[in-house]
């Protein structure tokens, strides 16, 4: 089942998204949250911090697993996804540090399976937050000839590196060439999925992903086969719907 929530502005976008996550935690304090990085979820994390500060949500029993990490950036690097999560969310709420997980960017290919084992040991993901790339990627599952099921190392496409150069002084050469990402099965096993999308630039890919054929050329299209997806998007991103 696919539900679309239309936000009128960034503030409402953040509030609606944070509310969904807070409700998940209220329903199950030990929830395993699958979390995403990037510009899109920032208003949502900001609002989640506000909800925590006003005593409306308690993360003390929660766990988190992040989607991906760059290869070659240490957790202290300002553009690493571990750093992103610390500064945008974890440092401001009461989630226990040892219960937050981000794939290791230096994960050798043969060790990636440990991340999937960790997710299984936690009982699976209750709610997975996703962004969508301009090329339709989810996590760093880039367009390919096949869906890659589990956590793996991936070579980033030029389109993704160009899109992310804005975080690296606009220099594409500084953007890592590889990442470690949860795979499509890891994502699809989540009980609920919250797909976030904002901005006119993503209107076409969002529409195609949700209305076109299911194809590994548009990795997000696989979400059509999930039974519980909420799409939270702004007017601009939904302009073709």
| 103 binding ligand PGA? (CB under 6 A) | no
Residue with tokens 């869906």: 147
Number of neighbouring beta carbons within 10 Å of residue 184? 22
- Among 131, 176, 183, 219, contact with ligand PGA (rule: CB under 6 A): 131
Among all residues, which ones are annotated catalytic? 68, 135, 137, 142
d(CA 48, CA 218): 30
By CB under 6 A, residue 132 contacts ligand PGA = yes
| Closest CB 38 distance from ligand PGA, rounded Å | 3
The overall longest dimension of the chain from CA atoms, in Å, is 47
- Name the residue nearer to ligand PGA (CB basis): 17 or 38: 38
Between CA 193 and CA 33 the distance in angstroms is 10
Position of minimal CB gap to ligand PGA: 38
> Which part of the chain contacts ligand PGA (CB under 6 A), choosing from 22-30, 130-138, 176-184, 232-240?
130-138
Q: Is 133 in the site for ligand PGA (CB under 6 A)?
A: yes
Query: Contact, 47 vs 14, CB < 8 A?
Result: yes
Enumerate residues 27-46 that contact ligand PGA by CB under 6 A: 38-40
User: Smallest Cα–Cα separation from 75: which of 96, 37, 104, 49?
Assistant: 104
Interface contacts to ligand PGA, rule CB under 6 A: 38-40, 131-133
């Amino acid at each position: 089942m696919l539900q679309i929530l239309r936000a009128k502005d960034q503030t409402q976008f953040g509030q609606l998204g944070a509310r969904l996550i807070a409700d998940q935690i209220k329903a199950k304090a030990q929830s395993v949250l699958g979390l995403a990085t990037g510009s899109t979820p920032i208003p949502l994390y900001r609002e989640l911090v506000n909800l925590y500060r006003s005593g409306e949500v308690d993360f003390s029993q929660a766990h988190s697993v992040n989607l991906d990490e760059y290869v070659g950036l240490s957790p202290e690097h300002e553009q690493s996804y571990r750093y992103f999560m610390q500064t945008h969310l974890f440092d401001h709420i009461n989630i226990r540090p040892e219960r937050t997980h981000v794939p290791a960017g230096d994960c050798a290919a043969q060790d990636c399976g440990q991340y999937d084992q960790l997710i299984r040991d936690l009982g699976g993901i209750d709610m997975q937050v996703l962004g969508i790339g301009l090329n339709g990627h989810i996590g760093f599952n880039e367009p390919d000839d096949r869906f890659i099921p589990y956590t793996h190392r991936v070579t980033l496409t030029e389109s993704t590196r160009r899109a992310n150069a804005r975080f690296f002084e606009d220099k594409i050469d500084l953007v890592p060439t590889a990442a470690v990402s949860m795979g499509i099965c890891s994502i699809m096993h989540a009980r609920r999925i919250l797909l976030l999308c904002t901005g006119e630039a993503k209107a076409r890919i969002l529409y195609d992903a949700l209305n076109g054929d299911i194809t590994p050329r548009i990795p997000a299209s696989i979400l059509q086969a999930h039974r519980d997806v909420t799409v939270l998007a702004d007017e601009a991103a939904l302009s073709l719907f």
